[in-house]
Amino acid sequence: MAKYGKAAFVLLIIGVAVLLGLPQLELISQATLNIFTLGIIWSIATMSLNLVLGYTGQASLAHGAFLGIGAYTFGIMAQRVGMNFWLSLLIACLMTAILGFLVGLPSLRSKGPYFAIVTLCFNVIIFKVFENWTWLSGGYQGQKVPRPSFLTERWARYYFALVMLILVILVVRQIVKSLLGSSFIAIRSNENLAESVGIKSFSTKLLSLTVSCFIVGLAGSLLALQNGYLDYTITNYLYSFYLLIYLLIGGVASLAGPVVGTFGLYFLLWQLEKTMGEFSEFRWLMFGLLLIVVIIYFPMGIVGGAKRFWEWIKKKYYSRRGEVYG
């Protein structure tokens, strides 16, 4: 496993290098650059879900709400309070992490599908509150989000998001490789067994959720920054579903999976919207069918499927040369 992890990491670095060069070479249009930036930001959000679902095994369906809370904290701090950009960003992440901690306290007592439903309910509550409490959210009109002077250009925001994505990948990698990461994985595999070897499962799960919320708060702030405005729909529970889909199609519990899944699906949907013209509503029908087919035939996602394919090729290669593989 470690071998493939390394290979995936190298591939990821190459991918990032290509992404770094794109705007400089002026290979892509301004609209495409915008889509790429959004893809990067959603990848960060998917990375955060990967930490709590992929590694710790807790299916949080509240990440849409946490994304919105991060975005709104950032927006309110920067616009209404008039705080400095970096400070607002930090407060947004901290606020989301604190809320994640508070939500985790009651909800992490329940397990499996119960936890998924509780978090989904929390997301619906947050959505309804933001929809109806217009003083907080600005209602249908939403509110403006100011951009600092160094992030007014599209390519600057692109690079900023990219740097943040790399940072998040490195941080998640460090966590996963550490002893803490092993405890996460132990809880995912068998919670009772993990408890019996001395892992405090509740506080470990709580820590995983809190860190995950810190990261998704960052993604929310970046999203608000990129769009330049905010309305209550950013807390929609559909985003929780989307993140789940990106993660599972990309491949759970891998570093490359969330990025591959998010970019692939985000780009695919955008391309479908462009090419299908007046039938573009039907892209969701194709998307739905694709989801069912992929989850049935590639339950480990794109990255998991690629790993299996690679393994299969290797086996063929070695057996032809008459050597024993392994």
Partner 1 sequence: MSFFFNQVVIGIQLGSQYVLVALGLTLIFGILDISHFAHGHMYMIGAYLLYVVMVLAGINYWLALIIVMAGLAIAGVFVERLVYKPLRGQPHINGFIAAIGLILVLETFVRGIEPEALRISKPIEKTFHFAGITMEAQRLIVIVGAIVMIILLHLFIKRTRMGTAIEAMAQDREGAALVGISVNKMAALTFAIATALAAAAAGLMAPMAFIAPTMGSILILKAFVIVVIGGLGSMKGAIVGGYLLGIMEALAIAYISSAYKDVFAFGILILILAVRPTGLFGGREA
Instruction: Give residues in contact with partner 1 (CB under 8 A).
Output: 53, 59, 106-107, 109-114, 116-118, 120-122, 124-125, 128-129, 131-132, 241, 244-245, 248, 281-282, 284-285, 287-292, 295-296, 299
Residues 6+ apart with CB under 8 A from 44: 161, 164, 165, 168, 215, 216, 218, 219, 222
Nearest distance in Å: CB 29, partner 1: 29
Q: Which three-class secondary structure state does DSSP give residue 148?
A: coil
* Cβ-contact 257, 246 below 8 angstroms: no
The two three-digit tokens of residue 179, written as one number: 């002893």
Would you say 59 and 115 are in contact if contact means Cβ atoms under 8 Å apart? yes
Nearer to partner 1, 89 or 120 (CB): 120
- Shortest Cβ distance from residue 228 to partner 1 (Å)? 28
Rounded least distance, CB 58 to partner 1, Å: 11
CB of 84 to partner 1, least distance (A): 34
Min dist. Cβ of residue 265 to partner 1 (A)? 12
Of 229 and 270, the one with the shorter C-beta distance to partner 1 is 270
Select 170 or 286, whichever has its Cβ closest to partner 1.
Answer: 286
Q: 229 or 241: whose CB is closer to partner 1?
A: 241
DSSP secondary structure of 23-55: TTTT-S-HHHHHHHHHHHHHHHHHHHHIIIIII
Nearer Cβ to partner 1, position 83 or 300? Answer: 300
